[in-house]
Every structure is written in structure tokens, then in C-alpha cells.
Amino acid sequence: MKIVLAQLNPTVGDVRNNLAKLITTIENVPVNSADLLVTPELYLCGYPPKDLLSFPWFIDQLSDAVEELKQFSKTRPDIGILVGTVRNNGRTSGKGLCNSAVLVSEGEIRFARDKQLLPTYDVFDEDRYFDEGDSCEIFEFHNTKLGISICEDAWNDPEFENSLKYDFNPIELLARRGAEVFINLSASPYHLGKESNRYHRFVFHAQKWSKPFIFVGQVGANDDLIFDGLSMAFDAEGRLIKSLPLFKEKSIIINTDLPSENGSLPTISKIDSLRMALVLGIKDYMKKTGFNAAVLGLSGGIDSALVACLAVDALGKENVRCITMPSIYSSSGSVEDSLILAKNLGIRCDRIPIKGIFDCYNDALKESFDGFDDDVTEENLQARIRGTLLMAYSNKFGSILLTTGNKSEMAVGYCTLYGDMNGGLAVISDLPKLMVYELARWYNRNKELIPESILLKASSAELRPDQEDQDTLPPYEQLDDILELYLEEFKSGTEMVNAGHDPQLVQWVTRAVDINEYKRNQAPLGLRVTSKAFGSGRRMPIAGKWKDDR
């Protein structure tokens, strides 16, 4: 069977333009060159549509789009269209909607397959909106029996999973009912290492059932989620026939009847994958929210330097503007490093000293604070002055403010509400500090783009004399390891101590994470690149008390 893998980038809610893109994609397929075109999961509405699914008018728009697609299909009777959309299932109880794959051909809906396994964990919330599909039938099209599944339906085989979330396996049911080709429509969010997991999973399905396996994934970024695409086709022996590129829209035709070229998954380093994901995350968030330019503060530190590099990659140097805002505690080296970085990147960098503004704040508070020593209050005032100036630039020039805090510092609350947390997009809020350094060194692989002094200097907020991050925080090697164990692997205090960490340090880190939920709850949306990011995939109480007694 000749199948078009249409790896597309939809905009959530933009049904009209998503449909137009799909029609253009079909028109670009030569007549009689393919039997079937396959889109990603929920392509017509974009994934995830969230509470848009609560509006009847939105469901009507999707129904109208399917009707238009039916009419268009009459002009291309040579090719079927398997599109991901929302289907009203007509039930009198439940949600009344299904996450569906609808096969349109010659002006008719020939078949609809509803998703059966609805993920409701981490960033997924499908049980909130959809009913489970109640059948797992195959469908014969162009003399081929299709076993159609949707994303999670292919993630529950007892021979592959460490633990099962569901009590049945749709892929097995499709195989036993005679499927000759498996097709999986997906919107599978990216995180580091996810592409390898998917690859081995689909190899496993193809080899286990001796059937070709087709995976079509969404590409692009929607809010905090990034989708890498990497659609793949495997032959009946699990050999890769073809794969589509990471993080790019593309369509190709594959033939399941031809011998595999014995292809292999494109090799890409972790750091290359990470950079491409963040660049796409910035680019799509800007485009889909209507921003054309970005502004950020340059502190002379590693975090803001990295965000500036990523922003230039995503938007072009002409659309990135920086501000350096030295205080009485800022070193001359930090200011100079910021200016050198801006010159190397070819971006504008304005200099606004904040001493005079800080003096005005102190004068205004002098009487109220009489008798009190300077403390974190005065440190935070400086951060908030900077945050206010940055937001002024954002308002005046219509630019989105990119925040520059990393995951390690966000985790333990080493950040200032209404100060350095101000902004519209937190670019590296899911990057641990050590990973920040690793990605920054990538940018210097060919030449010194980021001044070496930024990479070598001790990290500092420079809000008091001779301040360094390590005055407050443990070494980042220890902090990042504990955070990974706690946030991503859900280890107990005892398990972290058994892994070699100091008990008091474990207690300090975990408590700092827990008591700073209120800060992160007010942080701007951050791009997700690890398996457990702060934001939509981590939901913890704020006004509560809990203690790990293990």
C-alpha cells in the first residue's frame, strides 16, 4: 500500500487554516501516486485543544471542516484521507465526544476509529473531554486491511511496558482481527529520549505481529508542549522504511509492499535535539500568539546568554533586543560580557543603570524600614526594578519578554516574583543548570559566541556584595541530581540518601521545592523538554502540608 505520511504543524483552534493546509498537502500529492494520506492525531483542531472542546460552536466548526473535506475528496478519488479530528459519538451519557481517526474518500466517511486508551496523567487530560472508543475493528481499504490506532493505543503491550495503565491492548486486538498494516495517528509530546522510546516501541510491534507499522506524529509547539514529528514507517520485520525529520513539517510517500532500504533512525545528539526543540518552541509560541519580536535582560550570566542565543536562532537577530541593567553590585565584567555577547550575536543591547531608581525606592521606604537591616527585601527590589523596566520595553515595542530562569533555580525558589520571573515565555525553565552549561558550550563549538568568561565565572545574582549562587544553593552537580531523583523519578528521601546524598541536603532541597509551589504557580509558561516539567504536567497543592515519612 502506498501511504502519504503527512507530518503537519497545526495551530490549536485554527480549524479553517489547519484544513486549508491539509488540502494543500493533498493537492501536492501527484495523482494516482498514493492510496492513503494520514495526518497526526486531532489534526483539524490541533493538540491539545483543552477546554475549546467544551464549546458547541467549536465542535460544529470541526464537523463543518469534515464536511468540506468530504466535498474536496470528490476531486481526488484516487486517494483516501485518514484525518485526526473530534467526533460526536451520539451517546446520551458521558462526554459525547471521541478522539477519532476518520477515513474520508470520494465524498463519504468510509470509517471512523475512536481512541480507546485515553491518557490522564502528566500533561495528558483526555478523560476530561472524551469517551473511550467502544470498538477495535479493522477496515479494508484499497484491498488492504488497516489496523488503525491513535497514539496511546500503541502504548500498552505487556511485553514492552514496565507497568500497564490499561487492561487491554488495542494493537493485539487489531492484529488478531486480521490487520495487514498498522497505522498510528499521534500527537506525542517531545522530551529528551522520547524519540528512541518510540522507535523501539514500533519496531517491537512490527516484529511481534510481522506487519508493517506506520506512525504519523504531530510536529510543532503548542503552548508548553513541543512535538518533534519524526514520523516513521517500518516493514513487517521491523526494519525502518523511512523516517521524516525532527522538528520540521514534511510529507513523503512510502510503499509497504516494497522491500525496506534497511534504514536506521537518524542519529542526533541529545544536545542537538534539545536545541532544536527549544528553538521550535520559541518560534511557534511567537508565531501562534502573534508576536514578531522578543526582549530579554542580559545579566552577564550563563542563563540569559543562552536564552539570547536561542532567541536569535528562533527569530533572527533583527527581532531580538536586550537590556543590561547594572546596579551598584554589578561587576564591570558582567556588563562588558553582556555587551560583547550582544555584539557577537548582532543584536541591540541597551544599557539602563538602576542605581537611581533603587535609591528612590530606598528613600520611599526609609521611614517604614527604619531600624531594620538590609536583607532579601532590598535584593528583590533590584530584581523587581529590572522586571518593571523589561515589561516597559515589552509594552512599548510590542515584544514578548523572555524570562531566563533555569529549572534548578525555579525548583528551589531561587527567583523573584514580579522580578526576574516577569515575562511571557520561560524558555529554559525546564533545563537543569548543568544542562544550561552543556547547551551554552554547544554554541561555542566553532567560535567564542558566548564570552568564555561567562562560562567560567561563578554564577551570581549580583544583588549584594560578592554574592554567589553557591552561598545559598548547594553545588549544582548535587542539586541537579537530587532534583532529578525527586521530580522525575519520584524517589523518597531514604532512596535519595541511599543513592549517596547527604540527608540534610536532601531535606533542604525537597522542602525548598515543596514550599515554592506558590512561586511557580505564578511563573510564565515554560517550554517542556524533560519527562517531568513544572507546569501542566505537575499539579501540586499550594496551601497544604505534607511530609515524606519513608
Q: What are the residue numbers of the active site?
A: 41, 115, 151
DSSP string, 101-155: EEEEETTEEEEEEE------STT--GGGT-PPP-----EEETTEEEEEEEGGGGS
Cα Dmax for the chain: 86
Task: Report how far apart, in Å, the C-alpha atoms of 420 and of each of 176, 323, 349, 460, 523 are.
Answer: 57, 13, 18, 13, 10
Report long-range pairs for 29-35 (Cβ below 8 Å, ≥24 apart): 29/4, 29/79, 29/251, 29/253, 31/76, 31/78, 32/78, 33/2, 33/253, 34/2, 34/3, 34/4, 34/78, 34/79, 34/253, 35/1, 35/2, 35/3, 35/79, 35/80, 35/141, 35/142, 35/144
The answer to whether 459 and 300 have CB atoms below 8 angstroms apart is no
Name 101's bridge partners.
84, 113
How would you classify residue 512: left for phi > 0, otherwise alpha for psi between -120 and 50, otherwise beta? alpha
How big is the CA angle at 104 (ends 166 and 42), to the nearest 5 degrees? 45
Kindly list the strands in the beta sheet with 400-403, ordered across the sheet, starting from the edge strand earlier in the chain: 348-351, 320-324, 294-297, 400-403, 425-426
Kindly list the strands in the beta sheet with 80-88, ordered across the sheet, starting from the edge strand earlier in the chain: 108-114, 97-105, 80-88, 36-38, 2-7, 250-255
Q: Is the peptide bond prior to 49 cis by the omega test (within 30 degrees of 0)?
A: no
Buried-exposed string 319-336: b where 16+ CB fall within 10 A, e elsewhere: bbbbbbbbbebbeeebbe
DSSP state of 75: T
